[in-house]
Amino acid sequence: MPPVSRFSTAERLRQRFRVEHGERLAVRAKTSGLVTEAQLDEAREASEADGRPLTAVLLDRGWLDATALARLEETEAREEFSRPSTTRPAVLPAEVEEAAANPDRNLDEFVLVAPLGRGGAGEVWKSWDRRLGRWVAVKISTASLESTSAQQRFEREAMATARLAHPNIVPIFQVGTAHGRSFLVMPHIDGQTLERASLPLRQALEVMHTVALAVEHAHQQGIVHRDLKPGNIMITPQAGGVFVLDFGLAYLREETSSRLTRPGEVVGTASYMAPEQARGDHTAPATAIDVYGLGATLYALVAGRAPFTGDSFAAVVARVMTADPEPPRRLRPDLDARVEAVVLKAMDKNPRHRYPSAAAFADDLRRVLDDRKVEARTAHVQRLHQWLRRHAPLWAAVAVICVALAVAGLARFGAGHERDAAVETLREMARLSLESALRLRRAGDTVGMRKVLPQLVAAYQRVEERGAASAEVDYLMGRMYRALLDEDKALAHQERALAKDATFASALYERSVLLSRRYGRDLNQTIADLQVERPKGSKPADAETAERARPALAQLRARIVEDWTRLTSLTPSPAQTYAARGILAFYRSRPKEARDLLAQAVAADPLMEEAWDALALAHSAARNNAEADLTYTRALALDRGYAPHLVGRCDIRRLRGRTAEAVADATAALVLDPASIGARLCRATIGINRSHDEIMSGADALQTLNTADQDFSEVLRRRETTEALYGRALVRRYRAIFLDRRGKDPLPDFAAAEADCTRAITLDARDPERWSARGRVRTRRALHDIQNDRDATADLDAAQADFDEALRLDPTRSSALMWTADVQTYRGLQALRQGQPSEPFFVAAEARYTRAERAGADAWLHLLRGTMLTWRGVATARAGGDPLAVWTAAEDDLERALKAFPRYHDSVVRRGILRLERARHLVRDRRAARIAHDLGVADLEHALAREPDHREARAALAIEGDPVLSH
C-alpha cells in the first residue's frame, strides 16, 4: 500500500505549536494534581531526548490517561477561545465591515459574515466576534422558539456536544438566544468536509479510523450521532485535524421520558441512512446506526459516490431498505478486497451482523493500514452468506460444495502468497460452514448439519500438512466440532489454537466452555452416585460433597476459574464477557451474581447455547429446579437441535421426580445425537433409581436393570469414565441382589460389578466412593456365600481393606464406617453358623454402628444394626443367656427403618424373623409366644404378598428348628 499522503503545511510551525501546546497541557496537568513535579521533570528529559511530545511521554508512562488529557485539552481550548487576541486589528476586516452594515447579519456581539453550511437543525455561519476580535462559527437554529420539535433537536445538539470531551469532536463554547432563535458558538475550523475532499486511499482510511474512535467515545458517553456522512466530517490542513460535526440528530440513550422521533418517523440523510432508521425501527441497537453510517461514509470515500442514489428521497429510502449496495470494487477494481469487506460488514442489512461497535470498525481499519488480515469476510463470501440467508433449505448442500471447491483449490496451491490465499479461503469457508451448521441445527436438522463436516476436515488437513493452519482456523474447527457435539475434538483444536496464540480470546473462551461442560457432567454424575443410596428426606449431596468425594473435580474447577480470570483481561465480545463473568461467578459460588450476568449474556446473544446451559445450572444450584427447567425449555425453543439442552432438562426433571418426562427428554436427545453420552447417562441414572425403588417395593426390576446396563455399556464403549464404570457396577450389584432374593445365581453379576469397580479405582484411586463401592460388592457376595455355607473370609478381608482405604482418603465418611460394621456383622454370622464364638464380632459391629451414627450415617444403619442385633440375640440365646434386651433394641432399630423406608419390605421381613425368634425363646410363656409368632408370620406373609419370590421370607416361614439357618 502506498505511504500516506500528508497535508501541505509548514512543518516547523506545526512542530513549534505542538511543543508549546504540550508544555501548556503538561503544566496544567501538574497544577491540577494529575502529575507530580518529579514526573514532569522526568518527562521533559525524555521528550528532549527522543523528540516525542511531552503529553505522549506522560501517556506512555501511565502518569496521565487519555480521558484526563482530553479534558485538559478542552479546558485549554475554552480558555484560549475566551482570551482576548493580542493581535486584534485596529479596524474590522473589510468583509466584516460590509456584513456589519446589514442589521440582519448582527447577532449579539457576533457578525454573520458568510454561510458555511446547513445541518440537521440549523445553519452555520463564519462569524466575527466583536468582543474578542476573532473568527468563530455560529450555528443558528432554523426554527423559531415556538417550534417545539426543532427547538428540542437544536438543544439536543448543545447537550450532546457539551458533554463530549474529545479532540476530534468540535466543542461548543457558548449557547444563547437572539431575535427569537437559539444559537451555538464554536471555534471556527479552517478546513473542508469530506463531501468536498478527494483523498488518497490510505489517508481516507486513517481519517475514518480517527472518526470511528471519536464516535466510540460518544457511544461510551451514551450519545449516538445518527447522521454520520461525509458532510458531517471535516478535515483541516493541520496533521490529524479531523472533526465530527453536527450532533443535531444525536440520541441520548438515557432519555426515556420523551423521544424526538416516534416509531415510523424517519430521521437522517437518506443515502447514508441505516435500514432500521429508514423503517423507523427503534428495536435494533442504537449504536449500530452509527456503525452503518461509518461504513456508508467510507463507501463514498473509496467508491466516489454515495452507496444509494435515486430520483427522490422516497426512492433512496426504498433502496436503502430493500437493496444491497453495489460492491465498491465494481466501481473501483483496484480497491483492496479487505477495504471492501470492511465496508460491506459495517453496512450489513442486519444490525447484529455489523461490527459490534465503532471501536471494532476502527480495529479492522487499523488491520488494513498495518497490512494484516481483517475480521470482516471478503465480498464474495459476504454475498454468499446473504444468498444463503434467502435460500435457507440449501445451506448444507452449498456449504459442502463450497468446502469441496476449497479442497480442490488447495490441492493446486503451492507456497508463499498462493498458500496464504488458500488458507484465507479455508478460513472463510470454515466460517461459512460453521454458520450453516448452526442454522441447520437450530432448525432441528442435525442430519443436514453433519453433512457439512467431512469436506471441511479434508481442507483443514491439507492446510495443516503445510504447517499453515492459523490459531483462528483451529478455533473455527473447534467451534464446528462443538456445534456437532464432538467435544473431545473441539477441545483438542482449541488447545492447538492456544498453543499457537495464547492470547486468542475466542479460543480461550471456547476451551473454558468445554471444560465447564465436562465439570458439569462429572459433578452431576458424582452427585447422582452419592445420592442413590441416600434415603428420601435426607440432606441431598451437593457440589461440596462431590468435590470431597472426588478431588479431581475440585482441580478441574480451579483450572476453569483460572481460564475465566485470564479471559476477563482480554477483549471478548459483550455477550462472551457477560457469559465469562457469569460462569466464573457460578463456580465461585455466587449464584445470584451468576444468574444476573448470564441473563444479560442470553439477552445480548440469545443463540449462545453455553450461556443458557450455565444459567440453568445456576438456577439449579440455587435449588430452583423449576426455573432451570423453564430456562432449558426457552433455550430449546431457539435451538431445537441442541441435544445437550434436552440432556440438561432430563437431569433437572429427574431431580424433580418427573421421571417419565425425563426419560422422554433423554430419548429425544438420542434421536438428535445417537452418540450422546449425557443422554444415556441420564437415562441410565434414572434406571438406577427406578430399579432401586422397584427392588425395595418388591416389583420385578430385571428389565429396568438390563436397560440401564445397556446404556452404561454403550457409554463405556464410546468413552471410559469412572462415573460410567461406577454406575454400571451399581446396576450389576443391584441385579445380583435382585437375583439372590429370587433364589437365582448372583455370582456372575457380583464378579462383573467387582471388575467395574476395580477398573474405576485404576482410573481414579483417589476417590473414596470407588473403594467403598467395591467393598459393598464384596460384603454382599460374602453374605451370599455365608447363606450358602461357603467360607467368605477372603471377601470379608478384601472388603475391610477397601473400606479402610476409603476412610484413609476421607476420615469423615460415615457410610464407610457403617460398611466396616457390616464386615464385623458378617464375620459374626459366619462364626455363628460354624458354631464358633461370635460375640466379639457382634460387639465390634455395634461399636462401629454407633460411631457411624454419631458421624451422621443415614437411616440404612437402623436396618443393618437391627439385623445384626437379631443375630446377636440368637447367639446369646444359644449360649444360655437372655436375648430379650438385645432383641428389644433390634426391634426398635427395625421400627425406625420402617418409618424411614415404608415401602421397603425387607425391614418387615427382618422384623418377622425377629418375632419368630422371640416366639421360640418364649416357648414356656405360651400366650406371649403365640402373640410373637402370629405377628412374625403376619410380617412375612405381608412381604410375600408383595414379592412372592422373596427367598428369605419363604425360608423363614418354611424352616423348622433354628431360624438362623435361613440367613
Residues with catalytic roles: 227
Distance in angstroms between the alpha carbons of the first and the last residue of the chain: 92
Q: How far apart are CA 649 and CA 99, in angstroms?
A: 78
Contact 533, 900 (CB under 8 A): no
The enclosing H or E element of 243 equals strand 242-244
Pairing of strands 223-224, 251-252: antiparallel
Cβ-Cβ contacts under 8 Å for 481 (sequence gap 6 or more)? 487, 489, 490, 493
Cβ-Cβ contacts under 8 Å for 314 (sequence gap 6 or more)? none
Pairing of strands 233-235, 242-244: antiparallel
Which residues face 174 on adjacent strands?
185
In Å, how far are 76, 124, 174, 540, 689 from 128, measured between CA atoms? 21, 13, 14, 81, 89
Q: How far apart are CA 749 and CA 755, in angstroms?
A: 10
By the 10 Å C-beta count (0-12 exposed, 13-18 middle, 19+ buried), 262 is classed as exposed
Locus of grid cell 418364649: 922
Q: How far apart are CA 806 and CA 693, in angstroms?
A: 27
Smallest CA-to-CA distance from 830 within 842, 814, 821 is with: 842
Q: How far apart are CA 234 and CA 249, in angstroms?
A: 18
Would you state the cell numbers that stand for residue 829, as one nine-digit string? Answer: 454370622
8-state DSSP, 323: -
Smallest CA-to-CA distance from 563 within 574, 548, 579, 575 is with: 579
Would you state the cell numbers that stand for residue 486, as one nine-digit string? Answer: 464432538
Edge-to-edge order in the sheet of strand 122-129? 106-107, 110-118, 122-129, 134-141, 181-187, 174-178
Locus of grid cell 470492511: 342
CA angle, residues 850, 852, 857, in degrees to nearest 5: 120
In Å, how far are 56, 181, 184, 470, 902 from 146, measured between CA atoms? 48, 9, 18, 63, 84
Would you state the cell numbers that stand for residue 453, as one nine-digit string? Answer: 463436516
Q: How far apart are CA 823 and CA 783, in angstroms?
A: 9
- Tell me the helix, strand and coil percentages in the chain, rounded to 5: 65, 5, 30
Cβ count near 622 (within 10 Å): 14
Write phi, then psi, for 390 (nearest 5 degrees).
-90, -15
Cβ-Cβ contacts under 8 Å for 148 (sequence gap 6 or more)? none
In Å, how far are 400, 410, 452, 467 from 463, measured between CA atoms? 18, 8, 18, 7
> How does 140-151 read in b/e, with b if 16+ C-beta sit within 10 Å?
bbbbeeeeeebb
Write phi, then psi, for 904 (nearest 5 degrees).
-95, 100
